[in-house]
Amino acid sequence: MAYYDFKKKPALTTKEGEKDVLYPSIVFNGTINTKQLLKQLVARTGYKPGVVEGTLMELVDLVGEYIGQGYRVEVGEFGYFSGKIKSRLVKDKKDLRSPSIQFNGVNFLASKTFKKKATGKLERAQKLFFQASSQLDDEELKRRLLEHVNRYGFITRTTYTELTGRLKNKALEDLKRFAKEGIICKVGRGNQMLFVKNQEDSQTEQNI
């Protein structure tokens, strides 16, 4: 489930005399970092972690090299990557020399296939996120927790805080308590700590 909220259109972009205009903007559930993504790829493909990570690193280097050589690079069903350049503004192109024109980032154009895959159900965040965390009962906390775990396979304390509004210590208490109840399982320690779905529950669901 993805969530959205409404934001006001900046005054500089509105016409004179126009009333305030709202537009929808996605509210992020959190950030899936590279390490977490690699873990999921390993689980799905069965390849060794080093092979997956090494391939990804080489792909990034290779795409960067081709972009630096002026190519537009297609990466599977992701889409196309190309370079951006910048310079100072001039009235005559003769006023610019090559050394003053530099690369300035990367453009990304998603493919039609990737756009279709990057969709999901939407719900307005105001119904959930604007509630004080103290107003959320255990059932609602568990619902948000399991919805995320079922979709991504794991959850971190930071993401749980973003989903529920619980402060750091309270969020960690919740997750450890849910782990004791057998709803989720704790994996790792310290900054590497993750919580995954209870494997026994997963097997039970598959047998039903």
Q: Could you read off the pLDDT of 95-137 as tens digits, one per residue?
A: 777 777 889 999 999 999 999 999 988 888 755 444 455 567 8
* Residue 36: band (very low, low, confident or very high) from pLDDT cuts 50, 70, 90: confident
Name, of 9-13, 35-39, 107-111, 151-155, the range with top average pLDDT: 107-111
How much is the pLDDT for 83? 96
Nearest to 158 by CA among 168, 148, 150, 173: 168
Asked whether the predicted pLDDT for residue 73 surpasses 90, the reply is: yes
Where are the domains positioned within the chain? 34-117, 133-207
Domain 133-207 in the same topology as domain 34-117? no
The domain made up of 133-207 has a fold known as Arc Repressor Mutant, subunit A (1.10.10)
Question: d(Cα 4, Cα 164) in Å, to the nearest integer?
Answer: 15
Asked whether the predicted pLDDT for residue 204 surpasses 60, the reply is: no
Answer whether 96's CB lies under 8 Å from 90's CB: yes
How much is the pLDDT for 202? 47
CB atoms within 10 A of CB 126: 13
HSE-CB of 116 using CA atoms within 13 angstroms = 4
CATH of domain 34-117: 4.10.520.10
How much is the pLDDT for 20? 65
Question: What is the token pair recorded at 112?
Answer: 């039609």
Asked whether the predicted pLDDT for residue 141 surpasses 60, the reply is: yes
How much is the pLDDT for 129? 47
Answer whether 175's CB lies under 8 Å from 195's CB: yes
C-alpha distances in angstroms, 91 versus 55, 86, 200? Answer: 46, 15, 69
How much is the pLDDT for 18? 58
* Residue 75: band (very low, low, confident or very high) from pLDDT cuts 50, 70, 90: very high
How much is the pLDDT for 200? 58
* Residue 142: band (very low, low, confident or very high) from pLDDT cuts 50, 70, 90: very high
